[in-house]
Amino acid sequence: MWLYLSKKLIIFNSIKLDIQVKIMNQFETEIHKTVNFIVQKICNERHLLQQNFIKCIKGYHITNNSPINQTLWEDVNSTIFMHSNIKVFNQSNGSHQSGMDISSSIGNISNKSCKYSRNKKYIDISSYRLTTVCNNKDCGIPSDFINEINKRKNFDYYSILIRDEDSSTDFITYDWLFIPSNHYLFEPSSYLWNKSTGKTKSNIGNQTGWNTNTIEGSFMKIVFSMSSQLWLHIEMTNEIKKYIIASATISKSSHFDFISLFEKLSL
């Protein structure tokens, strides 16, 4: 009897592993197709995109000391596209609605900005607020909020501006990560979701959100106390780094304020 059950367990685990491998292979095939699509669309403009990225970043910092945040990145990204023979059809113009920020001739774009952490090893990206499908009163189930996330995903690519600020210097480095929205590390259905429980006196033992397993150093979490916001914790592996399409290092010190710039241009 024990031998029979052991054989059944081995067969079950083998089938389960085979299914997981097939799912990962399917993701890799889809990503490969999407990467080819990106290459076909922008390879001829790659150098132009890189040049215009550097020009636009430097242009912004002529009058600004503060880093480029997410709202500003949408405008900067659109400007780079328009000067690189990529048509921009529509922008969200800083709207707080989730989903697409830029509609363009190479697809729909969701703009994100974030900072490197732990010596440029990780980035953390804030995403959807999911209070309608999971919260501290109704915790929900993974299938519901995964469906809700995918329903809101009306874009083809994440266009992520990552910055590295060194407090000991006057310089800031920006990397432009342009990655398919269906990349398996950015896809919530790739992960196994588990309940997060409180550890403080006020919420000990109570569910406070959801968290996932780790895949290639990356994971996701939902925090009820932060309006059930979805967070993506991404490790900057070689797999992810290959989607960095441009970089720029500039001085944070501005050369002009708005008045001096106006007077300079009015001469």
Nearest-10 Cα torsion for 189, 94, 255, 248: 20
List, for residues 17-36, the tens digit of each pLDDT value: 444 444 445 544 554 454 55
Asked if pLDDT for residue 130 goes beyond 90, the answer is yes
Q: Is the pLDDT of residue 242 over 80?
A: yes
Q: Distance between CA atoms of 166 and 251, rounded to whole angstroms? A: 11
- Sorted by sequence, the CB contacts under 8 Å of residue 11 that are 6+ apart come out as none
pTM to 2 decimals? 0.82
> What are 133-157's pLDDT values in tens digits?
999 999 999 999 999 999 999 999 9
Compute the distance between CA of residue 103 and CA of residue 97 in angstroms, rounded to an integer.
15
- Write out pLDDT tens, residues 80-120: 999 998 999 999 876 556 689 999 999 999 999 999 998 89
User: What residue ranges in the chain does DSSP mark as E strands?
Assistant: 88-91, 102-104, 107-117, 122-129, 157-165, 171-180, 193-197, 207-212, 219-223, 229-235, 244-251
Predicted confidence (pLDDT) at residue 250 exceeds the cutoff of 50: yes
Q: Which residues pair with 115 in a beta bridge?
A: 163
Residue ranges of the domains in the chain? Answer: 2-252
Phi, psi of 134 (to 5 degrees): -160, 135
Residue 186 pLDDT > 80, yes or no? yes
Question: Among 4-18, 47-61, 155-169, 184-198, which is the least confidently predicted range?
Answer: 4-18
